[in-house]
Structure 1
Amino acid sequence: MSVFICYRHTERLYAFILNERLKLEGIDTCLEMFDAESHQTTDDVCGIFQRNIVDCTHLVMVLGSHVPDAWWLPFGLGAATLLNRRVTLYQGGDLPADYLQRWPTLSNREHIDLFVRAYHDEQTFCRAIVADEQDGRQNNRANAEFFHIDLKAKIRRGF
């Protein structure tokens, strides 16, 4: 189980903090920057997402204040949802778009701790992603929904 962390250049500090925290917990990560300044083509971005979404079990998108301008955001969310990946957002403030309310949002160190606990709970309670067979897809979808609902509730409660 690995975590794919994607971010824009302006949010790199948050992405690096999150990445280091997850590594300290023994969680395998993949860190990728998407930004116009990096001269990535649409094909580059699509290829990076396709490779990493398939290889990961969790996606964390580090969001900034200009997120609705990033076309890759809904693209990545759609790809992750289609493959029943666990999606989490990381942002310090309010989410800029209503559709982003669907997924858990981390905004501080305590929320990262809750994410780490939820990640490890999936292994403990055998809710990790299984082979892509018909039953596996249904289980993966149910387990992904459980992850999202449970983590959102823990963040709301603070534990």
Structure 2
Amino acid sequence: MSGIKVFISHQKQDSEKAIWVQNYLKTNHGIECYLDVIDLDFEKGEEIADYVRKELDKCSHFLVVMSSATKNSWWVPWEIGVATEKDYPLASYGDNVALPEFLMKWPYLRSSFDLKKYAEAIKETKVSSGFSLEDNISESVTASSGSSTKQFYRTLRSKLGQ
């Protein structure tokens, strides 16, 4: 689907689940995703941070794949912080993971049925909010994100019963 790209944040141990989410969104809903599966070397932290920021700037939405391993990640909370700072529509996905309180602020998905609702909410709010990634992605997302992000949350929470 043109103009929409989901940044999937995950801990390395959850790469298989993150790849499944990426494939599900692409195959079933035509939604492009960015999924970083490179082996991060903490000695190159500044370079990795710059790289991740550039990739995030190419995306319109942010999805965190959660598991019990996520709490041991340095990068996932950092990526959440960057996405929050940019006011990206954020959600988390995890089967039966007890989320930390700060992540309960955003919609959470627990199943493929919830992922379907997530994809529907993205498509619905894209039409009404006018997400555009054609020219300058970060500027267009920032310019439209205030009201469109809130609309995305309202739409998704309604679909999820949250």
TM over 0.5: yes
Partner of 1:48: 51
**Which structure ranks higher in relative contact order (CA pairs < 8 Å, sequence separation ≥ 6)?**
2
Measured in 2, the distance between the counterparts of 1:89 and 1:107 equals 9
1:87 Cα offset (Å): 0.9
Moved more, 112-121 or 3-12: 3-12
1:22-77 Cα shifts (integer Å, max 9, x gaps): 1122211111137xxx3522234412320121110011111111323222222111
Partner of 1:30: 34
Partner of 2:119: 116
Measured in 2, the distance between the counterparts of 1:68 and 1:150 equals 28
Q: Is the 8 A contact 2:11 2:69 kept in 1?
A: no
Q: 1:60 to 1:139 in 2, by over 3 A?
A: same
Counting matched residue pairs gives: 152
SS at match of 1:84: coil
Q: Is the 8 A contact 2:65 2:92 kept in 1?
A: yes
TM-score w.r.t. length of structure 1: 0.82
Percent identity, aligned pairs only? Answer: 18
Q: 1:105 is matched with which residue: 103, 108, 111?
A: 108
Measured in 2, the distance between the counterparts of 1:97 and 1:119 equals 24
RMSD (Å), alpha carbons: 2.3
| Gap regions ≥5 residues in structure 1 | none
1:119-157 Cα shifts (integer Å, max 9, x gaps): 111232234258738xx8464112112212321232126
Measured in 2, the distance between the counterparts of 1:122 and 1:69 equals 33
Q: Is the 8 A contact 1:3 1:29 kept in 2?
A: yes
SS at match of 1:119: helix
1:18 Cα offset (Å): 1.0
Q: Is the 8 A contact 1:60 1:87 kept in 2?
A: yes
Equivalent residue runs for 1:1-159 within 5 Å: 1-24=4-27, 25-33=29-37, 38-41=39-42, 42-128=45-131, 132=139, 137=142, 139-156=144-161
SS at match of 1:125: helix
Measured in 2, the distance between the counterparts of 1:61 and 1:5 equals 6
SS at match of 1:14: helix
Measured in 2, the distance between the counterparts of 1:33 and 1:95 equals 24
| Gap regions ≥5 residues in structure 2 | none
SS at match of 1:73: helix
